[in-house]
């Protein structure tokens, strides 16, 4: 949570954070500012001091909504600096940062970099700034010891927003099931009122519509994949594909609040009309593992241990796993879950590179998503819900939703 | 256009491009790969060679759609490198890049950085990679001499996609006008069937819905701002605001193809029911300038000259401008337009920092958007269309749309 930031900065010997980029679709910036329509901004947070927001003067009303101490870029006139730097724009932009940092009393020490931006321009300016200010040192983190772990545990306000996204998400999934079931099947595929096959593209257009209607968006698209595509974990599905009966449909939906806010992540696997025996068996195995894993969730469990347990369970029923065969395309080929919040994937992680601190602690929000994939057999199954560890130390699912495999379909 | 990339690399002495990040909402990556659901990828383009795409093996089907030579990250096993690097993840990721670069025959020289990503982790890995490979030098550009100017001129395929986004955009604007006019006014505000005031939040929800329905999204939101908010160029509008008659509404909409593709950018200013004289006069002045500017557009005009001309025209009718008073909050306070494409703002720019090469050449796509702002008088006016220079060297508007200020409204 946010109150951890200063202590984490002290532990890392970091004197300031520099967070760059827009205030939408930029997790670190949204976390510190609350979001809003700031097309370009900077936040400087010195250790022990509240964050300061720098903004385009045209966006002053949006900046004010952050509640942060805010300073317009017009206080640092770029045109003047360009003249002083003999027309060197990069140097002028470095000069602006130098003044901004000095106004936050940041003149030496480690400055940790955050923010989602276009790499090239920022690399140019920060490299120049580093030359101008040899007493500072920029650092970046692959495994972030400051903001990411602070963001890993959510407060009540954040949990409420994620739960609300869960409600929206499952409502859209229900609408999708209803929509499919409103169609009848002919020659083993769903057909529209006009008599043509309903396609995955048709279904996805509806999903986008229902999400928008509910104040959500899916910047990373939605997985709605049938048959062989369902056997490839990250295949989005093929828009022109018909909805064929008796084939697995993996429906993985991970929308966020409009503007790039909090996410939800949810997967069901469906088979329209009926389930052939191999599909039913694969489903039953995944569902069994899902239930076992969920029953064993508890506070302070290292998330990596859940991944190991999942590999144990799938290997016990003779499936290859990412542990038993690291580059396998078949069996259980990914990690069991991930944290989520302002990012669809964030700490805690459960895969090979997860750290010791990535445990399921109070306020952790995470997915549990076992799956089995057999693309050459034209099938894949994944089941996923989003959980958190509540104040009593128990794992709690945000939103319930039926686990049925088969969606009954009427024939023409 | 794309065919310019190699020549531009030669001119800059750049030996390779390294483009990082997802293939959605990442202009440089979308430009080279065509987009698709690649959550994390790298493209390495050596001078004189076609680009090579590196991808997560789970996303191999999406990678294949790019049509590029593609190599899965599984060919560079991170777990193995982590072991070899004694558990140092950053070092292991740098090692992976080193092998990827070597496999593209990039072992020395200047490597230009591109891609929209989280800054911290990439900064960490590239800094380490720089230490490992002292014969290479990473460079970033604020004023990009390679990809951005190549992207500045569009081919027929790109122009067709932008025109299609223009059709979608103006259809949504028309639907918005129709929606407003379906409401009647009482006590000077539009009211809903239930008798409560219609709000800007209501209108924006509809706009999002209609965009989604048409296969578009607005990752940067939409400006729908009334009264004082209309006088602040980048105010998004206040969701709870009622739709009051006789006040300027600035409606600036800049959506893109779903997934972060090509944009359109369009603004109209409306006044519901009637226009008070000061509003009508302000509108007339902006419209007159719009018409003058558009009539003077021609091939090879430096875009900066259009900005100067705009300042001349507004200053001639006694408005302060960003040229006459650089930090003014009143009058004409921004630049006259910008290029657009995979970014909503890209080259050519028309503001103070625009370069000599930012001219309106064949295939350039750009906005013309004069405006006048008087927040303390509770009004602002902006008119904007998107244009391109066609094969005959003439400026052509993509899509026509009425310029009316007043939307007639019925009273209860």
Cα A237 from Cα B401, distance rounded (Å): 37
- Tokens 């595929």 appear where? A189
A–B CB contacts, 8 A cutoff, strictly below: 206
Best mutation site among A36, A142, A226 for testing chain B: the one with the most B CBs within 10 Å?
A142
Number of residues assigned to chain B: 412
Cβ contact, residue pair B119, A118, below 8 Å: no
- Tokens 């997860």 appear where? A354
Best mutation site among A12, A212, A227, A228 for testing chain B: the one with the most B CBs within 10 Å?
A212
Q: For residue A233, what pLDDT band results from cuts at 50, 70 and 90?
A: confident
What's the average model confidence in pLDDT over B127-135?
Answer: 95
Number of residues assigned to chain A: 412
Q: Is A39 on the interface with B (CB under 8 A)?
A: yes
Cβ contact, residue pair B116, A117, below 8 Å: yes
Q: Are residues B124 and B160 in the same domain?
A: no
Cβ contact, residue pair B58, A233, below 8 Å: yes
Cα B125 from Cα B94, distance rounded (Å): 6
Q: What is the pLDDT of residues B89-105, one digit of tens each?
A: 999 999 999 999 999 99
Q: Is B234 on the interface with A (CB under 8 A)?
A: yes
- pLDDT over 80 (residue B353): no
HEC letters along chain B: CHHHHHHHHHHHCEEEEEEEECCCCCHHHHHHHCCCCCCCEEEEEECCCCCEEEECHHHHHHHHCCCCEEEEHHHCCHHHHHHHCCCCHHHHHHHHHHHHHHHCCCCCEEEEEECEEEHHHHHHHHHHHHHHCCCEEEECCCCCCCHHHHHHECCHHHHHHHHHHHHHHHHHHHHHHHHHHCCEEECCEEECCCCCECEHHHHHHHHHHHHHHCCEECCCCCEEEEHHHHHCCCCCCCCCCECECCCEEEEEECCEECCCCCECCEEEEEEECCCCHHHHHHHHHHHHHHHHHHHHCCCCEEHHHHHHHHHHHHHHCCCCECCCCCCCCCEECCCCCEECCCCCCEEEECCCCCCCCCEECCCEEEEECCEEEEHHHCEEEECEEEEEECCCCCEEECCCCCCCCEECCEEC
**Which of B209, B220, B326 is nearest residue A77 as measured by Cβ atoms?**
B326
Q: Are residues A271 and A386 in the same domain?
A: yes
Axis crossing angle, helix A119-132 with helix B119-132, rounded to the nearest 10: 70
Q: What is the pLDDT of residues B198-246, one digit of tens each?
A: 999 999 989 988 998 898 988 888 999 999 999 998 788 988 999 999 9
Q: Is B168 on the interface with A (CB under 8 A)?
A: no
Cβ contact, residue pair B327, A217, below 8 Å: no
What's the average model confidence in pLDDT over A190-196?
Answer: 94
Domain closes at, from A92, A117, A149: A149
What is the domain extent for residue A366? 153-411
Query: CA torsion, points A200, A202, A204, A209, in degrees to nearest 10?
Result: -170
Cβ contact, residue pair B119, A139, below 8 Å: no
Q: Are residues A243 and A337 in the same domain?
A: yes
Q: Is A119 on the interface with B (CB under 8 A)?
A: yes
**Which of B93, B119, B258 is nearest residue A208 as measured by Cβ atoms?**
B258
Residue B198: cis peptide before it, omega within 30 degrees of 0:
no
Q: Are residues B171 and B312 in the same domain?
A: yes
Interface of B with A in 303-332 (CB under 8 A): 326-327, 329
Q: Are residues B332 and B205 in the same domain?
A: yes
Measured in angstroms, the CA of A198 and the nearest CA of chain B are apart by 17
Cβ contact, residue pair B24, A220, below 8 Å: yes
Domain closes at, from A118, A149, A180: A149
Measured in angstroms, the CA of A240 and the nearest CA of chain B are apart by 14
Q: Are residues A131 and A239 in the same domain?
A: no
Give pLDDT, residue A59. Answer: 86
Cα B290 from Cα B382, distance rounded (Å): 9
Residue B311: cis peptide before it, omega within 30 degrees of 0:
no
Interface of B with A in 239-298 (CB under 8 A): 258-260
Q: Which of B347, B366, B367 is nearest to B357 (CA)?
A: B347
- pLDDT over 80 (residue B267): yes
Q: Which residues of B touch A138 (CB under 8 A)?
A: 123
Give pLDDT, residue A333. Answer: 95
Cα B82 from Cα B89, distance rounded (Å): 6
Cα separation values, A159 from A26, A32, A103, A339, B296, Å = 19, 17, 35, 13, 55
Measured in angstroms, the CA of B276 and the nearest CA of chain A are apart by 25
**Which of A28, A259, A327 is nearest residue B221 as measured by Cβ atoms?**
A259
Cβ contact, residue pair B25, A24, below 8 Å: no
- pLDDT over 80 (residue A3): yes
Q: Are residues B140 and B159 in the same domain?
A: no
Give pLDDT, residue A98. Answer: 98
**Which of A60, A90, A217 is nearest residue B142 as measured by Cβ atoms?**
A90
CB atoms within 10 A of CB B134: 8
**CB of A346 within 8 A of CB of A152?**
yes
What's the average model confidence in pLDDT over B331-342?
Answer: 97
Lowest mean pLDDT among A172-181, A273-282, B7-16, B252-261: B252-261
**CB of A114 within 8 A of CB of A19?**
yes
Give me the interface pTM, i.e. the ipTM.
0.85
Cβ contact, residue pair A220, B326, below 8 Å: no
Q: Return mean pLDDT, chain B.
A: 95
Q: Are residues B144 and B184 in the same domain?
A: no
Q: Is B192 on the interface with A (CB under 8 A)?
A: no
- Type and span of the H or E element at A349: strand A346-349
Cα A108 from Cα A13, distance rounded (Å): 12
Q: Is B137 on the interface with A (CB under 8 A)?
A: no
DSSP string, A178-211: HHHHTSEEETTEEE-TTSSBPBHHHHHHHHHHHH
What's the average model confidence in pLDDT over A147-152?
Answer: 95
For the domain that residue B399 is a member of, what is the CATH number? 3.90.230.10
- Beta-ladder partners of A322: none
Q: In chain B, which residue's Cα lies nearest the Cα of A121?
A: B142
Q: Is B220 on the interface with A (CB under 8 A)?
A: yes
Measured in angstroms, the CA of B105 and the nearest CA of chain A are apart by 22
CB atoms within 10 A of CB A286: 23
Cβ contact, residue pair B327, A57, below 8 Å: yes
For the domain that residue A8 is a member of, what is the CATH number? 3.40.350.10
| Residue A331 DSSP symbol | B
- Type and span of the H or E element at A268: strand A266-272
**Which of B62, B142, B352 is nearest residue A236 as measured by Cβ atoms?**
B62
Best mutation site among B12, B57, B142 for testing chain A: the one with the most A CBs within 10 Å?
B142
Q: Which of B409, B360, B381, B389 is nearest to B180 (CA)?
A: B409
The structure tokens listed for A216 are: 């959500």
**CB of B8 within 8 A of CB of B145?**
yes
Q: Are residues A145 and A212 in the same domain?
A: no
**CB of A242 within 8 A of CB of A189?**
yes
Domain closes at, from A97, A119, A149: A149
Cβ contact, residue pair A127, B121, below 8 Å: no
Cβ contact, residue pair B215, A205, below 8 Å: yes
CB atoms within 10 A of CB A182: 12
**CB of A223 within 8 A of CB of A253?**
yes
Q: Which residues of B touch A112 (CB under 8 A)?
A: 120
Q: Are residues A218 and A321 in the same domain?
A: yes
Q: In chain B, which residue's Cα lies nearest the Cα of A79?
A: B352
- pLDDT over 90 (residue B61): no
Q: What is the pLDDT of residues A108-137, one digit of tens each?
A: 999 999 999 999 999 999 999 999 999 999
Q: Is B123 on the interface with A (CB under 8 A)?
A: yes
Cα A238 from Cα A226, distance rounded (Å): 8
Phi then psi for B176, rounded to 5 degrees? -65, -45
Give pLDDT, residue A78. Answer: 92
Q: Are residues A191 and A231 in the same domain?
A: yes
- Count of structural domains, chain A: 2
0.90 surpassed by pTM: no
Q: Are residues A244 and A269 in the same domain?
A: yes
The structure tokens listed for A346 are: 């964030």
What's the average model confidence in pLDDT over A36-46?
Answer: 93
Q: Is A175 on the interface with B (CB under 8 A)?
A: no
Q: Is A211 on the interface with B (CB under 8 A)?
A: yes
Q: Which of A223, A210, A132 is nearest to A171 (CA)?
A: A210
Cα separation values, B84 from B57, B78, B99, B101, Å = 22, 10, 14, 19
Cβ contact, residue pair B140, A122, below 8 Å: yes
């Amino acid at each position: 949570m946010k109150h951890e930031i200063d202590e984490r900065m002290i532990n890392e010997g970091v004197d300031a954070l520099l967070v760059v980029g827009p205030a939408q679709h930029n997790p670190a910036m949204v976390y510190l500012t609350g979001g809003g329509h700031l097309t370009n901004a900077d936040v400087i947070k010195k250790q022990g001091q509240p964050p300061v927001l720098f903004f385009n003067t045209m966006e002053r009303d949006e900046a004010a909504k952050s509640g942060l101490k805010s300073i317009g870029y017009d206080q640092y006139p770029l045109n003047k600096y360009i003249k002083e730097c003999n027309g060197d724009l990069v140097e002028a932009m470095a000069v602006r940062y130098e003044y901004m940092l000095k106004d936050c009393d940041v003149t030496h020490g480690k400055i940790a970099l955050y923010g989602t931006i276009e790499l090239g321009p920022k690399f140019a300016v920060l490299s120049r700034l580093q030359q101008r200010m040899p007493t500072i040192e920029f650092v970046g983190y692959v495994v972030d010891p400051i903001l990411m772990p602070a963001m890993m545990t959510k407060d009540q306000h954040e949990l409420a927003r994620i739960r609300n996204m869960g409600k929206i998400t499952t409502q859209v999934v229900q609408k999708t099931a209803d929509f499919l079931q409103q169609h009848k099947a002919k020659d083993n595929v769903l057909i529209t009122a006009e008599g043509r096959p309903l396609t995955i593209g048709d279904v996805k257009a509806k999903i986008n519509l229902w999400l928008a209607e509910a104040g959500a968006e899916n910047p990373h698209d939605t997985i709605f994949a049938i048959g062989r595509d369902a056997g490839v974990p990250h295949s989005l599905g093929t828009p022109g594909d018909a909805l064929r009966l008796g084939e697995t449909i993996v429906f993985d939906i991970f929308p966020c609040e409009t503007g790039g806010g909090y996410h939800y992540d949810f997967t069901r696997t469906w088979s329209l009309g009926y389930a052939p025996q191999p599909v039913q068996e694969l489903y039953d195995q995944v569902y069994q593992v899902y239930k076992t894993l969920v029953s064993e969730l508890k506070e302070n469990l290292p998330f990596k241990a859940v991944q190991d347990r999942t590999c144990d369970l799938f290997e016990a029923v003779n499936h290859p796993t990412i542990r038993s065969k690291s580059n396998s395309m078949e069996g259980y080929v990914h990690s069991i879950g991930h944290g989520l919040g302002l990012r669809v994937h964030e700490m805690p992680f459960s895969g090979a590179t997860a750290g010791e601190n990535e445990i399921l602690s109070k306020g952790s929000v995470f997915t549990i998503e076992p799956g089995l994939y057999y693309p050459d057999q034209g099938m894949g199954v994944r089941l996923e819900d989003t959980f958190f560890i509540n104040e009593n130390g128990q794992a709690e699912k945000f939103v319930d939703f039926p686990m049925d495999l088969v969606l009954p379909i009427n024939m023409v």
